[in-house]
């Protein structure tokens, strides 16, 4: 199927070509025609499958200059992201968007709301504006995006209240990665005869993501993490921790080991959070250490690995976390560190996801990888004049083998200084691994 087969405006089809969207994803294929018909829709599809475009493209196509579409989404980060996406899709149609979230100027947002067809808002600030009568909106289209996230974040009552301010005559769309009962109930209250679209029943997680878990002891988390990073050599990874304190600890620890890591959690100022996400998006940061809440739904391209430093407390969070990788048809790897205390939740997760047990790589494994990395790097590097001169001079003193060995040792010394783990301890770890493997 092609985008040109939908009844979308030509400008949109052209834009999609330009930005490299070759064909619609399954949820887009199923939802776009129904939305274009004007029907209410409840759509469920796993994360990273293009739900934003599934509602944005048809709405951009049908919206009239005098009409308004309201999109409600759980976090500021998501609101910004969706706004940018709509702007990108609607560029040729001169679509304007207002992004509405807490912690930023009221006046500017109110002005933007007046002048824009699309309003992308977080529930808190939106309700605040509506209740204080600072704005009055009569949207013809309303989208609840990432509805399950909003439920998790405690926005259910806010959302119900928001709908008291919105005229009944409208088209309403609800998008969600999972469909808890409370969301189903909500959809009955606010949607009219919705069409239900569900993609990927059964296996809930994305098949482009390989999921592994490693059994460890509580005090081994940090070492296991570093060893796995060394072994897997991720280009861009998110490391999820349970608490803000863990996030700070782990990011400091990784920085101490020489990794390019940054923390992201809710106690940080909004500006700082945006800065960190931007740096991560632009490949300036390799490891984002985050709590669930702030990293929810963020769409960063090319995240190669997701690490669960701790398992999340429930299955849906797991699905959302690992959905940060393997996006838009790319491959991803999800790695969870699990202690015996977490086996209960692990077993729950195993019901929806195909997790494979693996062993923590030993120092030897890491060395093998290291050598492969070096061979690859050596192949690519060209000898420069200065280095040739240094080697020529050294040759007066040592033979070539000695020179090469000394250089290699010099290189490794820096690294092993940082890891500083004895082989004995590694062996202990492996033994424990095997013991647990039998236990589960
Ligand atoms: P979801 O909301 O389902 O988690 P998003 O809407 O955030 O997923 O989309 C994930 C990524 O996939 C985004 O970077 C988006 O631009 C990209 N994407 C969406 N649809 C397509 C498509 N048809 N072709 C290529 N990339 C797409
Ligand atoms: Mg989304």
Which atom of ligand 1 is nearest the CA belonging to 85?
A: 16
> How many C-beta atoms surround the C-beta of residue 98 within 10 A?
23
- Among all chains, which residue has been given the structure tokens 């299955």? 315
Ligand lying nearest the CA atom of residue 52? 1
CA of 52 to the centre of ligand 2 (A): 5
CA of 325 to the centre of ligand 2 (A): 13
Ligand lying nearest the CA atom of residue 57? 1
Q: Show the tokens assigned to 249.
A: 């600890």
* Residue 336 Rama label (left phi>0; alpha psi -120 to 50; beta): beta
CA of 102 to the centre of ligand 2 (A): 20
> How many C-beta atoms surround the C-beta of residue 139 within 10 A?
20
Q: Are 209 and 322 in contact (CB under 8 A)?
A: yes
Q: What is residue 42's predicted lDDT score, i.e. its pLDDT?
A: 96
Q: Show the tokens assigned to 101.
A: 């979230």
Reported confidence tier of residue 431, pLDDT bands at 50, 70, 90? low
Give percent above pLDDT 90 in the chain.
49
CA of 146 to the centre of ligand 2 (A): 6
For atom 23 of ligand 1, the residue with the nearest CA is 24
* Residue 394 Rama label (left phi>0; alpha psi -120 to 50; beta): alpha
Mean residue pLDDT across the chain:
86
Q: Show the tokens assigned to 165.
A: 């301010």
Query: Residue 364: which residues within 8 A CB-CB, separation 6 or more?
Result: none
Residues 321, 264: Cα–Cα separation, whole Å: 14
Q: Show the tokens assigned to 336.
A: 């969870």
CA of 222 to the centre of ligand 1 (A): 33
- Which pLDDT tens digit goes with each residue over 148-188? 888 888 899 999 999 999 999 999 999 998 888 999 999 99
Q: What is residue 251's predicted lDDT score, i.e. its pLDDT?
A: 94
Residues 431, 255: Cα–Cα separation, whole Å: 29
- Which pLDDT tens digit goes with each residue over 74-101? 988 889 989 999 999 999 999 999 999 9
Does residue 14 carry a pLDDT above 60? yes
Q: Where are the domains of the chain?
A: 3-199, 209-363+426-439
For atom 22 of ligand 1, the residue with the nearest CA is 21
For atom 1 of ligand 1, the residue with the nearest CA is 48
For atom 24 of ligand 1, the residue with the nearest CA is 21
* Topology match between the domains 3-199 and 209-363+426-439: yes
Closest CA to 295 of 316, 318, 324: 324
For atom 2 of ligand 1, the residue with the nearest CA is 51
13-21 CB contacts, 8 Å cutoff, 24+ apart = 14/92, 15/88, 15/89, 15/90, 15/91, 15/92, 16/57, 16/89, 19/88, 21/53
Q: What is residue 436's predicted lDDT score, i.e. its pLDDT?
A: 54
Give percent above pLDDT 70 in the chain.
89
Q: What is residue 34's predicted lDDT score, i.e. its pLDDT?
A: 96
CA of 367 to the centre of ligand 1 (A): 37
Q: Are strands 69-72 and 41-44 parallel, antiparallel or unpaired?
A: unpaired
Measure CA 408 to chain center. Answer: 37
Ligand lying nearest the CA atom of residue 51? 1
Which atom of ligand 1 is nearest the CA belonging to 145?
A: 2
- pLDDT top residue among 203 and 397: 397
Q: Are 37 and 206 in contact (CB under 8 A)?
A: no
Looking at CATH, the fold of the domain delimited by 3-199 is given as: Rossmann fold (3.40.50)
> How many C-beta atoms surround the C-beta of residue 218 within 10 A?
11
Alpha-carbon dihedral 233, 236, 242, 244, rounded to 10 degrees: 120
Looking at domain 209-363+426-439, which CATH architecture does it have?
3-Layer(aba) Sandwich (3.40)
Pocket of ligand 1 (CB under 6 A): 21, 24-25, 28, 45, 47-53, 299, 301, 327-328
For atom 9 of ligand 1, the residue with the nearest CA is 50
Query: Residue 226: which residues within 8 A CB-CB, separation 6 or more?
Result: 254, 257, 419
Reported confidence tier of residue 203, pLDDT bands at 50, 70, 90? very low
Alpha-carbon dihedral 358, 362, 368, 372, rounded to 10 degrees: 60
CA distances from 234 to 307, 334, 385 (A): 10, 11, 32
Which atom of ligand 1 is nearest the CA belonging to 25?
A: 23
Q: Are 243 and 291 in contact (CB under 8 A)?
A: yes
CA of 297 to the centre of ligand 2 (A): 6
């Amino acid at each position: 199927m092609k985008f040109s087969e939908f009844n979308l405006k030509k400008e949109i089809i052209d834009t999609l070509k330009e930005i490299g969207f070759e064909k619609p994803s399954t949820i887009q294929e199923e939802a776009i025609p129904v939305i274009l018909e004007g029907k209410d829709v409840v759509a469920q599809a796993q994360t990273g499958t293009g739900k934003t475009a599934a509602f944005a493209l048809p709405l951009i196509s049908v919206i009239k200059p005098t009409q308004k579409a309201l999109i409600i989404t759980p976090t500021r980060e998501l609101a910004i992201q969706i706004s940018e996406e709509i702007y990108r899709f609607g560029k040729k149609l001169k679509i304007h968007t207002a992004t509405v979230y807490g912690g930023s100027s009221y006046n500017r947002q109110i002005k933007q709301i007046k002048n824009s067809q699309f309003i992308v808002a977080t529930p808190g600030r939106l309700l605040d504006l509506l209740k204080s009568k600072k704005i009055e909106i009569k949207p013809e289209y309303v989208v609840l995006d990432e509805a399950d996230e909003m439920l998790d974040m405690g926005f259910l009552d806010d959302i119900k209240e928001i709908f008291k301010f919105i005229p009944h005559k409208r088209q309403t769309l609800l998008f969600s990665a999972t469909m808890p009962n409370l969301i189903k109930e909500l959809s009955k209250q606010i949607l009219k005869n919705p069409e239900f679209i569900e993609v990927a029943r059964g296996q809930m997680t994305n098949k482009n993501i390989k999921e592994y878990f490693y059994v460890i002891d509580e005090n081994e988390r940090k070492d296991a993490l570093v060893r796995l990073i060394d072994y897997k050599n991720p280009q861009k990874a998110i490391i999820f921790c349970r608490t803000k304190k863990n996030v700070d600890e782990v990011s400091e620890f990784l920085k101490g080991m020489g990794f390019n890591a940054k923390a992201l959690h809710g106690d940080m100022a909004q500006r700082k959070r945006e800065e960190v996400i931007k740096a991560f998006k632009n490949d300036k940061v390799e490891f984002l250490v985050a709590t669930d809440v702030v990293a929810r739904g963020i769409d960063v391209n090319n995240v190669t690995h997701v690490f669960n430093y701790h398992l999340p407390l429930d299955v849906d969070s797991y699905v959302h976390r690992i959905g940060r990788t393997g996006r838009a048809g790319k491959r991803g790897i999800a790695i969870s560190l699990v202690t015996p205390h977490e086996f209960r939740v692990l077993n729950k997760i195993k019901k929806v996801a195909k997790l494979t047990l693996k062993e923590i790589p030993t120092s030897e494994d890491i060395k093998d990888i290291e050598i492969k990395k070096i061979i690859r790097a050596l192949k690519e590097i060209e000898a420069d004049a200065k280095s040739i001169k240094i080697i020529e001079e050294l040759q007066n003193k040592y033979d070539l083998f000695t020179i090469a060995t000394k250089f290699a040792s010099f290189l490794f010394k820096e690294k092993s200084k940082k890891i500083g783990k004895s082989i004995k301890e590694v062996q202990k770890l492996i033994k424990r691994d095997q013991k647990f493997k039998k236990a589960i």
